Every structure is written in structure tokens, then in C-alpha cells.
Amino acid sequence: MRSVDLLVATTNAGKLAELQAAVRELPVRIISLQDLNGTPEIVEDGSTFEQNALKKARSLSDFSGYLTLADDSGLEVDALGGEPGIHSARYSGEGANDRRNNEKLLRSLNGVPRDRRAARFVCVLALCAPAVLGRKEWVFRGECEGEIMFAPKGENGFGYDPIFFYPPLGRTFAELDRETKGKFSHRGQALKSLVEMLPGIFQG
């Protein structure tokens, strides 16, 4: 199988590391946004994870000329009507970071009992070949059900991992090592589907 350049449209080190681990057996050369100059700023104004992921993948594949992988992912909390959802990364407003987002979410669930703290992580990966290569698109979705803790626990992972409790393992995602998390997480599921299809895409 020929080697393929793949632009990964993220500046999140955790996401990049998870992808690199997932494709380590394939002849893929990962290109990050830091490897490019003048990348356009893309406004994520879609109403779904799929719309946002596809917009990023299309825009950056056309800009770079590379096969491009983009994702949109987030946390849906039932007691909050599905929020923060597509706004997960910027849930706490301007200057949002993981700590502030987690703190706001816990405040929003103050007084909500454990049996009403159901939540799920959602990840949508969009893979796009640029227009110069005939524009082709693929979408992969993964979900993982769990519940929101009353306080953070664990030092691993990123995002909402410290407050997302995964009942089958009895731990938060932040208490899992990367390999274990990758077997069960929303992103792990989406990446598994991607990796299974990549050889056929490369040969095509």
C-alpha cells in the first residue's frame, strides 16, 4: 500500500496523539496544522457535529491539497437538554479551557441526583479529499454512554474526561490510560471505523 499524507485538522494534542496511535500500523504520514502556514480560520457555525466536521475537512482539504481529517466532538447531558453539545469546547465562554468548562458543567448540574446525570460523548470524524482530487467525503460517528460525576477524578485525558464516569469500567475517562480509553471511547469507536476503511480509500 502506498504511503499517504493525511492532514489532521486539530491543534488538540490529545486528539492528535489518539489518531497517531490508531493509524500506527498504516503507511500514513500525519501532517498537523502547525506544519502549514496561513491556514484559514474556520467558523464552526453548523447545527450538528456532522456539519461542523465536514465544513472543517472541506475547507482545509481545499486549502492544503491534502486528504484531510477533521472532527467535531462533544458531550451531551440529558438533564441539560443535550448541552453543551456542539458548544462543548467553548461552553464557558470566551477564553474557555478544560477546567472552566468542567466547573461550569458541574455548577449547571448542582442538585441533580445521580440517576438523572446520564450523558454521552459523541465524536464525528469527517475525511475529505480536496476538489483537485475529485472531492470525496466519508463520515464516521462514535458514541459512548456514561454519567457525570459530582467532582473531577483522574489525571489523564483531556476535556470533560475527569467528570465523565464510564459504568462498565467503574472509572472516569481521566482514570484510564490512553490505550484502554481508546477501546471504549466515542473517538475510539469512530477511529476504529476510519482505520478499517482507510486501506480501501488509499488504494482507490
Q: Among this protein's residues, is 35 annotated catalytic?
A: no
Q: Which of 45, 62, 72, 98 is catalytic?
A: 72
Q: Are 156 and 176 in contact (CB under 8 A)?
A: yes
From the number of C-beta atoms within 10 Å of its C-beta (0-12, 13-18, 19+), residue 16 rates as middle
Do 76 and 82 meet the contact criterion of CB atoms below 8 Å apart?
yes
Euclidean distance between CA atoms 33 and 75, whole angstroms? 24
Closest by CA to 160, choosing from 79, 106, 93, is 106
- Please state, in angstroms and rounded to a whole number, the distance separating the CA atoms of residues 75 and 108: 14
Active site residues: 72
